[in-house]
């Protein structure tokens, strides 16, 4: 008991140190330009919520949040569905070809995005998907699949084959064995896949700028960064927009943590 | 004591019998493969063609120049110098980020009262966009002795302005942002260690360190593999934070391969050359990752 | 094999269509195309949508003028996106490269950057604006920034100047009555400010583009006042950085550092920190572009304390020239579906009242002035120069986009004491000849 208490103290101290930059972020978002210039890191005195109000209206954050949410949620569903099935195959198949396919997927993590950037843009344009949610969803699903497959495959390999085998002996097909038995056991890594992909898609700035810029379907980062100029920047407003934009992701993470912990315990018993 | 094998954790019914079960059908991988081929493989393969041309990035003018761009690269001091920076940055990030991530994961895996909150705190930096993290840290890296980190720590460091310090300042910023990332993956690994194993080891009389060394550590292997690979690749390809924090400066002190290839493509209008650098970077990262995955996989506990 | 291919010129259009067609064919079955194109508006009149991508510095004037255009021409809707300079450069070049340019997009004046008028116009991607009335009023000295081979490809509302943004209170407290008009006066003013305990010049060289401003402020006097045709000679290979007044300008730059007139650690100090030092009176001045005035004022508790004066780069007041550069503008894509509508919008921007409105929003000097033009009082001291003692920002006449980043880097190296002026100018000359 005493050691747990000591550990708790230590961890809280580390957390405070970790939080300092976050404090700076929030504190900057609560200041007007003169306050930022005079004392960027002091406590906001008095705090102003004008940045938040302005970020909401001037940056049209409401519609942007909807766009970001649609794109992120649909991409995540596609990634988890396509990724987990493919990984189950890749982790279990014993042929050389199967291993080659796995390496082929890994190649996707390695490639610099600049390599295929222009042909991909051209392709999405030919498909008529520039300036649409569908175009972005297709992009994220493809671009994050290697990462998703990498995470899933690693964990499925560590999972005893016997779980699925037992189900199949009881007469279940591969499909049933995977969806009913294996997939629930993957909850901890599914949670990780979900949150890490969500963070990437939610924060990605460059691709939505290229694909959605000027379409009226801009995502949160695109709307917020419109206020960062070379000569004139509205940093308070930008920071406020980012704080608002980060809230949904933090909430998702919080919810997911509980789900993942509970999920695993019940998965083992089931 | 001998390492506890994963064997004990298996459900009794399954482990008693041995069946050879068929592999899942190809169809499981087909949809993913199609999307992946369309969005990643096909564009990358057609993009590679530019490495053998002198295309500026815009307009219709383009001629094939064979391997000329690769020859240019061999004599490009700036690009070659950036490789050293890239490697230093990668090593620092891989080592420190994963060490911190592992310690955080072990810390918040214990049933602390505040663990849900602590996890959110350590993960919080991950959700901020990398470009924004760089903006933010420029306030913290103010060289003025009375403000930012200098004021807080009572030191006088020219964090981003001193050419011999700037690279490490960027590493620090990246580690702060990504330690929570490693933590989450280690946590997923820790959640996968069945509590029964710890119980069994305790009964066998193992102490905390022994339980970590012989139970937790071997079973963390998949998470470790993933973390090491992702941070290595991330380090080698690191762009956003460097670009937003220093843009390669002061002078060329923090130029990485990614910033060089970006500048060639979009600032200097040498798209062909930039593609050649990208190709070399890709091959390099692929080689490092293959070695890593081969080595790390061989020490994973196979279930 | 590669030698055979060596001289094979291909049409990129064909190449891309071929590659794109391949991919599209493979994928056509899996994905349906977007049905919505242009939908008729309520009045039965077809609405044209124009896409604009610009830099954030254009947001204020564009928002204002897009709204005005909506009033004037309700059938045209302009959807605009803004982003930081580097990101816009990347995204627009990707779109240009893939042959899908927005109808209207940001263009930089002159030739020295990847998004500059010359480089994009040379690739045949900008619509010719020469037929528009406003283009005939472009002042002679600014034409190279707007035109390639006599044709106008970019709209810009005016020019901004580089000079010293200074805090009047800080000057008063140090007993400095009037801004200096010669280089030696400038040095002695700095000396007095320093003795009064204030940092004479705030320098935020961590932000790359800030590094160039002091050289840019001095070079008009050390180079162009002596030889107004320097650019042409340099383009012809008859002049170089190393063998010109550029050397003198670099020496003057470093003299300011040697005498301790800058803040400590300029290489680690950002533009934002520089702004804050002047706005709060910790530093007396900063050599900056007039376009930053709105930002400096927002950061100050009493905005009226801030003004500007030309940096005197010569010991003879009559030999002082100033840099005045055309501000970032926009152009119309040459190959879009709505070229005529896009050009019509630019024609609208070219009206005198709209030039005035744009210039006012960014504290610039309007391209052409009439009775209604307003000029920021802070830049009034520059007006006597703009007629015949002003030169465009140097990069606007540089032949490629590599010289400017090299200039940034060598200044940082010089400030860090890791290079010499000889070395720096040699690197710049090398980049110029690429």
Q: Please, what are the domains in chain B?
A: 6-21+78-262+273-298 (1.10.3720.10)
Mean pLDDT in residue range B151-165: 92
In the prediction, which pLDDT does C3 show? 40
Instruction: Convert the pLDDT of each residue in C65-107 to its tens digit.
Output: 999 999 999 999 999 989 888 888 888 998 998 888 999 999 9
Residues C276 and C394 placed together within one structural domain of the fold: yes
Question: Cα-flanking dihedrals φ and ψ of residue C139, to 5°?
Answer: -60, 145
Mark yes or no for CB contact A10/B265 under 8 Å.
no
**Between B59, B139, B249, which is nearest C123 by CB?**
B59
Mark yes or no for CB contact A21/B132 under 8 Å.
no
Query: Which residue on chain B is closest to C335 by alpha carbon?
Result: B59
C31 reaches A (C-beta below 8 A): yes
Residues C332 and C320 placed together within one structural domain of the fold: no
CATH of region A60-269, choose from 3.30.460.80, 1.10.287.610, 1.10.3720.10, 3.40.50.300: 1.10.3720.10
Higher pLDDT, B187 or A231: B187
Q: Answer for the pair C59, C82: CB distance below 8 angstroms, yes or no.
A: yes
Residues C338 and C415 placed together within one structural domain of the fold: no
**Tens-of-pLDDT digits for all 270 residues of chain A?**
567 888 889 999 999 988 989 888 888 889 888 888 887 888 888 888 888 888 888 888 889 999 999 999 999 999 999 999 999 999 998 888 888 999 899 889 888 888 888 899 999 999 999 999 999 999 999 999 999 999 999 888 888 888 888 888 888 888 888 988 889 888 888 988 998 899 999 988 888 888 988 788 889 888 888 888 777 777 888 888 888 888 888 888 888 877 665 544 333 322
In the prediction, which pLDDT does B116 show? 83
Higher pLDDT, A59 or C25: A59
Residues C141 and C198 placed together within one structural domain of the fold: no
In the prediction, which pLDDT does B14 show? 43
- Where on the phi/psi map is residue C344: left (φ > 0), alpha (ψ -120 to 50), or beta? alpha
Higher pLDDT, C206 or B303: C206
pLDDT band with cut points at 50, 70 and 90 for residue C12: low
* Torsion angle (degrees, nearest 10) of CA B127, B133, B136, B138: 170
Mark yes or no for CB contact C53/A214 under 8 Å.
yes
Chain A residues touching B300 at Cβ < 8 A: 157-158
Pairing relation of β-strands C48-55 and C76-83? Answer: parallel
Q: How many CB atoms lie within 10 A of CB A34?
A: 17
In the prediction, which pLDDT does B115 show? 83
Instruction: Convert the pLDDT of each residue in C192-227 to its tens digit.
Output: 999 999 999 999 999 999 999 999 999 999 999 999
Q: Which residues pair with C330 in a beta bridge?
A: C106, C155
Residues C295, C276: Cα–Cα separation, whole Å: 10
Residue B20 has pLDDT above 60, yes or no: no
Q: How many CB atoms lie within 10 A of CB B150?
A: 19
Does C375 fall in a domain? no
Q: Give the distance from residue A13's alpha carbon to the nearest chain B alpha carbon, in angstroms.
A: 10
Residues C169 and C269 placed together within one structural domain of the fold: yes
**Between B47, B48, B300, which is nearest A117 by CB?**
B47
A117 reaches B (C-beta below 8 A): yes
Higher pLDDT, C425 or C3: C425
In the prediction, which pLDDT does B300 show? 63
From A159-168, A202-211, C42-51, C354-363, the region with the lowest mean pLDDT: C42-51
A238 reaches C (C-beta below 8 A): no
Residues C247, C254: Cα–Cα separation, whole Å: 11
In the prediction, which pLDDT does B173 show? 95
Mark yes or no for CB contact C12/B60 under 8 Å.
yes
Report the SS3 class of residue A34: helix
Residues C254 and C359 placed together within one structural domain of the fold: no
Mean pLDDT in residue range B36-58: 92
Q: Answer for the pair B186, B102: CB distance below 8 angstroms, yes or no.
A: yes
In the prediction, which pLDDT does B240 show? 86
Q: Which residues of A251-266 are buried (b: 16+ CB within 10 A; e: fewer)?
A: ebbeebbeebbebbee
Mean pLDDT score of chain C, rounded to an integer? Answer: 88
In the prediction, which pLDDT does B3 show? 42
Residues B53, B67: Cα–Cα separation, whole Å: 9
Instruction: Convert the pLDDT of each residue in B70-119 to its tens digit.
Output: 999 998 888 888 999 999 999 999 999 999 999 999 998 887 888 888 98
From A8-22, B196-210, C283-297, the region with the lowest mean pLDDT: B196-210
Mean pLDDT score of chain B, rounded to an integer? Answer: 86
pLDDT band with cut points at 50, 70 and 90 for residue C23: very low
Mean pLDDT in residue range B33-58: 92
Mark yes or no for CB contact B139/A40 under 8 Å.
yes
Domain span holding position C182: 162-324+384-433
C57 reaches A (C-beta below 8 A): yes
Residues A245, A263: Cα–Cα separation, whole Å: 28
Q: Where in chain A is the domain with CATH 1.10.3720.10?
A: 60-269
Residues B239, B254: Cα–Cα separation, whole Å: 11
Residues C282 and C255 placed together within one structural domain of the fold: yes
Chain B residues touching C268 at Cβ < 8 A: 141-143, 158-162
Residue C414 has pLDDT above 60, yes or no: yes
Does C220 fall in a domain? yes
Residues C150 and C101 placed together within one structural domain of the fold: yes
Segment holding B115, helix H or strand E:
helix B115-127
Please state the domain count of chain C: 2
B192 reaches C (C-beta below 8 A): no
In the prediction, which pLDDT does A41 show? 80
Question: Cα-flanking dihedrals φ and ψ of residue C33, to 5°?
Answer: -85, 165
In the prediction, which pLDDT does C45 show? 57
For position C275, which CATH number holds?
Answer: 3.40.190.10
B81 reaches C (C-beta below 8 A): no
Residue B223 has pLDDT above 80, yes or no: yes
Residues C292 and C420 placed together within one structural domain of the fold: yes
Chain A residues touching B174 at Cβ < 8 A: none
Q: Which residues of C368-398 are buried (b: 16+ CB within 10 A; e: fewer)?
A: bbeeebebbebbebbeebbeebbbbbbbbbb
Mean pLDDT in residue range C333-350: 94
Residue B58 has pLDDT above 90, yes or no: no
Residues A30, A51: Cα–Cα separation, whole Å: 7
ipTM at complex level: 0.88
Report the SS3 class of residue A121: helix
Q: Distance between terminal CA atoms of chain A? A: 31
Residues C358 and C290 placed together within one structural domain of the fold: no
With a CB cutoff of 8 Å and minimum separation 6, the contacts of C192 are C174, C175, C176
C289 reaches A (C-beta below 8 A): yes
Mark yes or no for CB contact C6/B249 under 8 Å.
no
Give pTM, 2 decimals: 0.86
In the prediction, which pLDDT does A187 show? 85
In the prediction, which pLDDT does B37 show? 95
Residues C122 and C212 placed together within one structural domain of the fold: no
Residues C171 and C293 placed together within one structural domain of the fold: yes
pLDDT band with cut points at 50, 70 and 90 for residue C165: very high
């Amino acid at each position: 008991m005493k050691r747990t208490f000591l550990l708790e103290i230590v961890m809280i101290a580390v957390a405070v140190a970790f939080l300092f930059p976050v404090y700076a972020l929030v504190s900057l978002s609560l200041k007007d330009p003169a306050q930022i210039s005079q004392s960027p890191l002091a406590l906001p005195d008095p705090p102003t919520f004008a940045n938040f109000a302005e970020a909401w209206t001037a940056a049209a954050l409401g519609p942007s949040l909807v766009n970001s949410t649609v794109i992120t949620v649909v991409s995540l569903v596609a990634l988890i569905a396509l990724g987990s099935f493919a990984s189950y195959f890749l982790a279990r198949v014993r042929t050389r070809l199967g291993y080659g396919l796995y390496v082929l997927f890994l190649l996707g993590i390695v490639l610099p995005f600049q390599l295929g950037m222009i042909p991909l843009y051209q392709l999405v344009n030919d498909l008529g998907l520039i300036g649409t949610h569908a175009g972005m969803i297709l992009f994220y699903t493809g671009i994050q699949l290697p990462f998703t497959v990498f995470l899933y495959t690693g964990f499925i390999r560590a999972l005893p084959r016997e779980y699925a085998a037992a189900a199949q002996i009881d007469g279940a097909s591969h499909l049933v064995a995977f969806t009913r038995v294996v997939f629930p056991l993957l909850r901890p890594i599914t949670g990780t896949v979900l949150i890490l992909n969500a963070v990437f898609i939610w924060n990605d700035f460059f691709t939505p700028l290229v694909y959605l810029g000027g379409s009226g379907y801009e995502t949160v980062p695109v709307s917020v960064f419109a206020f960062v100029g070379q000569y004139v920047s509205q940093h308070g407003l930008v920071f406020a927009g980012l704080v608002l934009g980060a809230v949904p992701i933090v909430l998702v993470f919080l919810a997911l943590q509980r789900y993942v912990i509970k999920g695993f315990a019940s998965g083992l018993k089931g | 004591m001998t390492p506890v094998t994963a064997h004990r954790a298996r459900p009794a019914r399954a482990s008693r019998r041995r069946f050879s079960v068929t592999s899942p059908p190809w169809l499981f991988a087909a949809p993913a493969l199609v999307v992946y081929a369309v969005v990643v493989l096909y564009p990358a393969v057609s993009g590679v063609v530019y490495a053998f041309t002198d295309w500026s990035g815009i307009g219709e003018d383009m001629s094939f120049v064979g391997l000329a761009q690769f020859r240019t690269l061999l004599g490009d001091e700036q690009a070659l110098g950036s490789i050293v920076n890239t490697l230093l940055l990668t090593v620092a990030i891989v080592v420190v980020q994963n060490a911190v991530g592992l310690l955080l994961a072990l810390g918040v895996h214990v049933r602390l009262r505040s663990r849900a909150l602590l996890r959110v705190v350590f993960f919080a930096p991950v959700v901020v966009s990398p470009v924004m993290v760089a903006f933010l840290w420029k306030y913290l890296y103010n060289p003025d002795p009375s403000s930012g980190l200098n004021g807080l720590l009572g030191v006088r460091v020219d964090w981003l302005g001193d050419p011999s310090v700037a690279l490490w300042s960027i590493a620090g910023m990246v580690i702060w942002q990504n330690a929570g990332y490693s933590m989450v993956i280690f946590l997923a690994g820790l959640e996968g260690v069945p509590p029964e194993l710890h119980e069994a080891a305790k009964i066998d009389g193992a102490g905390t360190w022994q339980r970590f060394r012989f139970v937790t550590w071997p079973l963390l292997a998949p998470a470790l593999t993933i973390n090491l690979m992702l941070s290595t690749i991330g380090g080698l390809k690191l762009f956003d934070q460097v670009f937003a924090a220093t843009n390669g400066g002061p002078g060329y002190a923090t130029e990485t391969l990614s910033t060089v290839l970006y500048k060639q493509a979009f600032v200097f209008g040498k798209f062909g050359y930039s593609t050649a650098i990208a190709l070399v970077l890709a091959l390099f990262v692929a080689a490092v990752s293959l070695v890593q995955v081969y080595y790390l996989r061989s020490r994973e506990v196979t279930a | 094999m590669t030698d055979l291919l060596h001289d094979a010129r291909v049409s990129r259009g064909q190449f891309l269509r071929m590659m794109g067609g391949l991919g599209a064919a493979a994928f056509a079955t899996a994905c349906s195309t977007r049905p919505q194109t242009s939908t008729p508006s309520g009045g039965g009149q077809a609405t044209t949508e124009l896409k604009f991508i610009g830099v954030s510095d254009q947001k204020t004037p564009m928002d204002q003028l897009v709204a005005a255009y909506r009033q004037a021409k309700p059938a045209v809707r302009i959807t605009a996106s803004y982003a930081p300079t580097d990101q816009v450069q990347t995204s627009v070049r990707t779109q240009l490269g893939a042959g899908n340019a927005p109808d209207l997009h940001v263009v930089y004046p002159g030739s020295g950057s990847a998004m500059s008028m010359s480089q994009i116009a040379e690739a045949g991607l900008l619509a010719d604006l020469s037929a528009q009335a406003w283009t005939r009023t472009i002042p002679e000295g600014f034409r190279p920034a707007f035109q390639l081979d006599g044709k106008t490809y970019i709209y810009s509302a005016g020019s901004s100047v580089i000079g010293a943004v200074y805090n009047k209170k800080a000057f008063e407290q140090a007993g400095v009555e009037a801004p200096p008009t010669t280089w030696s006066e400038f040095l002695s003013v700095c000396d007095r400010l320093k003795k009064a305990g204030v940092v004479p010049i705030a320098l935020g060289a961590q932000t790359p583009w800030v590094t160039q401003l002091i050289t840019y402020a001095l070079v008009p006097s050390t180079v162009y006042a002596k030889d107004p045709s320097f650019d042409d000679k340099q383009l012809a290979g008859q002049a170089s950085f190393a063998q010109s007044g550029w050397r003198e300008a670099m020496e003057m730059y470093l003299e300011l550092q040697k005498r301790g007139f800058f803040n400590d650690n300029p290489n680690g100090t950002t533009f934002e920190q520089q702004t804050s030092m002047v706005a709060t009176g910790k530093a007396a001045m900063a050599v900056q572009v007039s376009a930053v005035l709105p930002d400096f004022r927002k950061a100050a508790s009493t905005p009226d304390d801030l003004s500007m004066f030309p940096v005197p780069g010569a010991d003879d007041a009559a030999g002082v020239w100033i840099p005045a550069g055309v501000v970032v503008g926009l152009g119309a894509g040459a190959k879009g579906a709505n070229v005529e509508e896009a050009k019509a919008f630019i024609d609208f921007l070219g009206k005198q009242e709209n030039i005035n409105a744009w210039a006012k929003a960014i504290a610039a000097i309007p391209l052409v002035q009439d009775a209604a033009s307003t000029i920021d009082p802070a830049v009034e001291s520059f007006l006597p120069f703009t007629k015949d003692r002003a030169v465009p920002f140097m990069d606007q006449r540089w032949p490629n986009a590599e010289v400017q980043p090299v200039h940034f880097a060598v200044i940082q190296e010089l400030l860090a004491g890791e290079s010499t002026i000889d070395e720096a100018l040699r690197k710049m000359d090398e980049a110029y000849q690429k």
